[in-house]
A and B are shown apart, each in its own frame.
Chain A
C-alpha cells in the first residue's frame, strides 16, 4: 500500500538554527509531492510542491525541498528558522494514476522554535 513516512514527530530548535525534516514515500510510479504547514489555530496551507523539472524546489517563507527519486525522499529544509515557523509540517504525495488523485499524508512533524 502507498504510504508516507515522516521521521521526526517532534523537533525543537532555537531561532537561527537550520532545519531539515525527513519524508519518504512508498510508491513505485510517478508522484506529485507536497509539503503543507499548519500554524497554530489555522488550516493546512501549501508550503511548496514538486510536479516535475528541477528536483530542488523553493517555497514560501524561505523553505525548500529536494526530491531524490532514487531514495523516494522529499526532505524539507530551511537554513535559519524563526519563532514564527512554529507549526506542524505535513509531507504528502499524490500517486499519478489517471486522475482524481488523493493526497496521502505523513503523520506530521511538530516544530517548536524557541527565541
Chain B
C-alpha cells in the first residue's frame, strides 16, 4: 500500500539556522498539508497546498515558513530562521480530494538548540 514518506526522521539544528523538511506524497494525491505537534500538545494545522499554491495557512505559519513542490514530487517545508519554540514533530499529509481522507507520513522530529 502506498505511503507518505518524510525525511529526515530527526533533525537537530542551532537556533537561527534554516531547515528544510521533505515529504514524498502518495503518487496520485493532489492536496498537501503540513501539521506540527509540540511535545505534549495537540496536532496543529500549519498549511495546505494545492495546484502549486498555498490554499490556507494558520497563524503559526508566519514569514519564517514556506512550502514548495520544487520538482513535482517532493513537498517541502522550509523554516528560514529556526527558534527554540519550533521544536516539534512535523507531519506531512496528503489527500486525493479537498475533503478526502488525509494520509500522514511518519513525521520529522525537529529539535532546535
Tell whether A and B belong to one assembly: yes
List residues of A whose CB falls within 8 A of some B CB. Answer: 32, 34, 36, 42-46, 49, 51, 90, 92, 94, 96, 99-108
The number of A-B residue pairs with CB atoms under 8 Å apart is 54
Q: Contact: A103 with B50, CB < 8 Å?
A: no
Q: Contact: B101 with A100, CB < 8 Å?
A: no
Q: Contact: A43 with B31, CB < 8 Å?
A: no
Instruction: List B1-42 residues whose CB lies under 8 Å from chain A.
Output: 31, 33, 35, 41-42
Q: Contact: A107 with B105, CB < 8 Å?
A: no
Q: CB < 8 Å: which of A32, A36, A94, A99 contacts B55?
A: A99
Q: Contact: B42 with A106, CB < 8 Å?
A: yes
Instruction: Decide if B103 is an interface residue (CB 8 Å cutoff).
Output: yes
Closest residue on chain A to residue B51 by CB atoms: A100
Q: Contact: B55 with A43, CB < 8 Å?
A: no
Known A-B contacts A43-B106, A44-B91; the reply to A101 vs B98 at CB < 8 A is: yes
Q: Contact: B107 with A43, CB < 8 Å?
A: yes
Interface of A is mostly: loop
Q: Contact: B44 with A100, CB < 8 Å?
A: no
Closest residue on chain B to residue A98 by CB atoms: B98
A residues near B44, Cβ cutoff 8 Å: 105
A residues near B56, Cβ cutoff 8 Å: 100, 102
Q: CB < 8 Å: which of B35, B58, B99, B105 contacts A99?
A: B99
Instruction: Decide if B104 is an interface residue (CB 8 Å cutoff).
Output: yes
A residues near B31, Cβ cutoff 8 Å: 100
Closest residue on chain B to residue A90 by CB atoms: B43
Q: Once bound together, how far apart are the Cα atoms of A96 and B105, in whole Å?
A: 23
Instruction: Decide if B82 is an interface residue (CB 8 Å cutoff).
Output: no
Q: Once bound together, how far apart are the Cα atoms of A96 and B98, in whole Å?
A: 10
